[in-house]
């Protein structure tokens, strides 16, 4: 695949990873891309590199535009290894005059690659550098989602190179948002936000405010993963505003695993109660659904029910895994309850409830615990709990 000119003199020269299926716990069932951008001007500039196994792809694409050795400047927007894994090899080959990065970026690069002598040029929000007819402006985006993260903005091209913000894990032969199905693109963008940036939602709100204050004139957003936003860039900014405010709908996510189907029967009764109250539900078994896909559904859901059988006086392993993952992302504004079956001890629902307390999930009832196989009357109790939760959701949203 050839490099793609996204603006006059600005080329996508990244790599496509068609086969990756796990990104530190996030299911990437359609792969991803590692986007890098080459800017031709008096000072030829490369913005970001790629994951190390894709170094040859990067150089192959650069070489179709210009000899890599002619690159003058390297900008490191983000030091995570999917973007800086090939950094040492790139630096060795191009011998850049300057390497632009944030203060935390410099520290991270030195900690990763243990080379103190490189020509680092530390920049901060508001700094700019002329590379000829084009100017690079820098905006630090600390903890979105690493301490070193920053944006590079080209005002003359109205182009925002946005590092890990506004991205998606999706490998495609297309490069732009208007070349793919918009509904699918937004689903991938929502999954990306839910699993990578949800934790930092308050900082996303501050960043969006800062972008407004700076009055950046944008008509294209080029992230480090996935499709480039050249037509619907306003839509993704609006979505980030909505997601970072954690706005929710009349929707409940009902998550569970089961051992001998007793917890599953209880969960189905709860789900039926929610449905009969007119609440949209996502019924998600941890045997069938990946944690990252469940979190994506949690993003805009008001209700959350988690069910687990008790095993060895504790949570079922898949439920413990999911709750650990979800708790770290700090979703807010949820309402729900815990549920589960047991044989002789019955700790699981109480443990879920404790985690819900730590997550500040408003629990409308005490955990429901049913021994062995639920009776018809016990299932009616679960059904009623679902209806009660459904009414609470409708009152709240």
Query: Annotated catalytic sites, by residue?
Result: 24, 78, 80, 82, 145, 164, 192, 225
Residues 6+ positions from 317 with CB-CB distance below 8 Å = 311
Q: Do residues 359 and 327 make contact, with C-beta atoms less than 8 angstroms apart?
A: yes
First-to-last alpha carbon distance for the chain, in angstroms, is 47
Residue among 183, 139, 136 nearest 165 (CA): 139
Q: What are phi and psi of 55, to 5 degrees?
A: -55, -45
Spatial distance between the Cα atoms of 84 and 48, rounded to a whole number of angstroms:
7
Strand partners, 85: none
Structure tokens at 26: 């996030």
Strand partners, 81: none
Residue-wise burial string across 307-328, b where 16 or more C-beta atoms lie within 10 A, e elsewhere = bbbbbeeebbebbbebbebbee
Structure tokens at 254: 């009902």
Cα torsion through 92, 96, 97, 101, rounded to 10: -110
Cα dihedral 169, 171, 172, 174 sign:
positive
Structure tokens at 388: 């009660």
Q: DSSP letter at 169?
A: -
């Amino acid at each position: 695949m050839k490099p793609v000119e996204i603006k006059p003199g600005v080329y996508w020269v990244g790599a496509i990873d068609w086969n990756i299926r796990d990104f530190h716990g996030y299911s990437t069932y359609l792969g991803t891309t590692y986007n890098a951008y080459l800017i031709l001007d008096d000072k030829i500039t490369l913005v970001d590199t790629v994951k190390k196994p894709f170094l040859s792809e990067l150089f192959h694409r650069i070489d179709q535009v210009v000899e890599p050795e002619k690159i003058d400047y390297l900008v490191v927007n983000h030091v995570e290894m999917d973007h800086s894994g090939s950094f040492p090899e790139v630096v060795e080959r191009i011998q850049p005059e300057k390497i632009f990065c944030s203060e935390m970026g410099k520290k991270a690069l030195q900690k990763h690659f243990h080379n103190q002598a490189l020509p680092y040029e530390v920049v901060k929000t508001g700094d700019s550098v002329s590379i000829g007819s084009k100017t690079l402006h820098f905006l630090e985006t600390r903890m979105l989602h690493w301490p070193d993260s920053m944006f590079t903005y080209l005002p003359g091209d109205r182009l925002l190179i946005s590092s890990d913000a506004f991205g998606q894990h999706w490998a495609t032969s297309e490069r732009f948002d208007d070349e793919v199905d918009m509904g699918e693109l937004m689903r991938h963008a929502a999954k990306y936000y839910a699993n990578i940036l949800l934790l930092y939602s308050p900082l996303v709100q501050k960043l969006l405010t800062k972008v407004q204050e700076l009055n950046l004139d944008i008509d294209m957003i080029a992230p480090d993963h996935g499709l480039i936003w050249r037509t619907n860039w306003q839509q993704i900014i609006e979505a980030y505003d909505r997601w970072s405010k954690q706005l929710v709908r009349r929707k409940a996510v009902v998550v569970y695993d089961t051992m001998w189907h007793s917890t599953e029967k209880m969960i189905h009764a709860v789900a039926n109660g929610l449905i009969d109250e007119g609440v949209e539900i996502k019924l998600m078994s941890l045997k069938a659904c990946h944690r990252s896909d469940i979190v994506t559904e949690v993003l805009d859901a008001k209700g959350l029910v988690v069910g687990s059988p008790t095993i060895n006086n504790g949570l079922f392993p898949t439920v413990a895994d999911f709750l650990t993952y979800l708790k770290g992302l700090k979703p807010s504004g949820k309402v729900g309850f815990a549920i589960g079956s047991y044989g002789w001890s019955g700790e699981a629902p109480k443990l879920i409830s404790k985690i819900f307390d730590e997550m500040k999930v408003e629990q409308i009832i005490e955990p429901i615990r049913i021994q062995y196989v639920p009776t018809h009357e016990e299932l009616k109790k679960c059904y009623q709990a679902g209806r009660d939760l459904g009414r609470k959701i409708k009152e709240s949203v």
